[in-house]
Structure 1
Amino acid sequence: MNLCCSDHAASAKEPMKKSKKKELSMKEESSPSRRDENKIVFFEGDCNLAFDLEDLLSASSKILGKGSIGTTYKAALEDVTTVVVKRLKDVNVGKREFEQHMEIVGKIKHENVDALRAYYYSKDEKLVVYDYYHQGSVYSILHGKRGEGRTSIDWYSRLRIAIGTARGIAHIHTQQGGKLVHGNIKASNIFINSQGYGCVSDIGLTTLMSSIPSPGNRETGYYAPEVTNARKATHSSDVYSFGVLLLELLTRKTPIYYSSERGQAFHLVRWVKSVVREEWTSEVFDVELLRYSNIEEEMVMMLQIGMACAARRPDQRPKMAEVVRLIEGIHLENRSPSTESRSEASATTIYST
């Protein structure tokens, strides 16, 4: 059996730190009745790394996060290969439908789409395997604690994340005769590829689930107003979620965030619209971005695109292909890092993918 791992995954083969609290075996949390004759299904790749279910479940692992779809692990195999394993919960479809969806997603090959490397299905266990991105998710970069993922992130890095993510979603929307929907666009499902561009993961997994995030969960802030069932997401609702992500990149606030000053929770889209309506636009942006000069016009352009995507009515939102064109047009041809005294990014390479 073969597992394909791309370069960015291979670069993440750092030794696992031994920690009794943070390190565990996935086998410890698996059901003893899970064992059956089903095998891990691998997709074609350019490198041959053999392991079986027992190897995967016994691998030294660290929980990266728990969400509405399941628990995500960073698993270090004995040959030092590092992969990401998502253990799905509340799967509401049978084996055939599950496998059909995996086959559709597994065939997607695009630099801005996280490749599905393998999957496993049994009565008690459903697993999907992806590459490991050493920089972590965009959510951890934007909102993680200092020293635990959150980092300083300049304007051009954010713009590359937006461009890559838009391209990835637009490509997903062309699959299966234009019928494939992501359904769960959020910062924790976006990673950064080796070129620094956004890369979209977890395609269509919500369609396999029997439940959706409960009210009050921060994930609900990404859902379009018309989406009452995450399994019935559309291209238009994906566009809305992407709009929320753009606002998140600009403000560094979560979709539903708590203000300690006012002692209440705010919905990011509604807050941004209220601030812009009062013509206090500059107060929207992350203070870290205000350190840079000559980028205000570009930030305002992204803000306008984000608000257009997050329009309340689906028919008022642009198509994803149009969104890609708009975002790629943000960077002005005559703009270069030399006009920014403190920018750490190279604007001249912003479209070199």
Structure 2
Amino acid sequence: MSQEYNYTDPLNLVVAFLLGTIGTFGVVCNSLIVYIFLKEKSEQTAFNVICFFRAISNVIILTTIFLITYLPKTLLGYSPYPPAIESWFINTSHPLYLGNEYQIVLMAINRFCAMFFPTKYSRIFSLSHTTIILVLIYLYRIAQKIYEWLPESAKGCYTLFSTKYFAWKYSSAPGCDYVDGAPEVIKYTFITTAFLNFITFLKILHFYKKSNSSQVAVEAKKRMRKNILNFIQTILLDSLYLIDITFTFELSSWSTRRVWTYFCGTFIWECLHSLDGFIMIIFNEKLTFLRSKTRNKVVLPIIGGGHPRQGQTSVTTYSNVK
């Protein structure tokens, strides 16, 4: 008798519990970021609008992929949706995931400009300019995905979630020859981001060296601390994607055991988007406990825009990228 990969399998039950718990936690965290951005006018800055778009992207991915698609199939052993619908649910996440990847570069440029061109920052990274760029990024990714995937879908070549391996996989049927170009995108994205962040980090070191050897205005130091908090948040968010692609492309091939394929693919991917929202909450002035430590301090304009505690979000698949 063949193995049934549904609620009768203990591992399926554990995975289903984790899918529901991590997914719900991530939706709540990211939804709070969206709510605060829309509710508080003071939160609507160039830096925070990047986080706002990331949070929306995370909510969509966590809901459509993990809670609506993966969770019921893990318990039932089969999808409640037709293959075409399940495939489009999964493929919906891919342009959003890569849109978040492009956001990593945008956020690094944001911090770079805030540190090196503080007087011109407000003109370069205005709220309207940043919003337009973000909209164009996601429209480009969505249009590219539709262009690539429509011919494959017409041939019945679907992307489906495997209840055996707990990860999505492209169809291996004859005639299904879809080539994923995401790895190249991610490689150059991280090279660019690493370079910008390194230069920004050197600028921060230079500032502290200068502040120790000369008289630097107290206000300037406070503004720099706020920008550094934004920079730290950026690094933390970037590190989530680095962990994600490491497991997706390097470590996932170590074993085909169900626990390993789940961990390298679905678990890391889901945690990426959930922790993305959680990190944004930690650095968000309206939500974090750190607010109590700073609310009695003098409120100063932040070089580079954005409040000192705001951030963004991140994911993984089995031997393929989102």
TM-score bucket (shorter structure): under 0.3
Structure showing greater relative contact order (alpha-carbon pairs closer than 8 Å, 6 or more residues apart): 2
Q: Where is the helix percentage greater, Structure 1 or Structure 2? A: 2
TM-score by length of structure 2 reads 0.22
- Per the normalisation by structure 1, the TM-score is 0.21
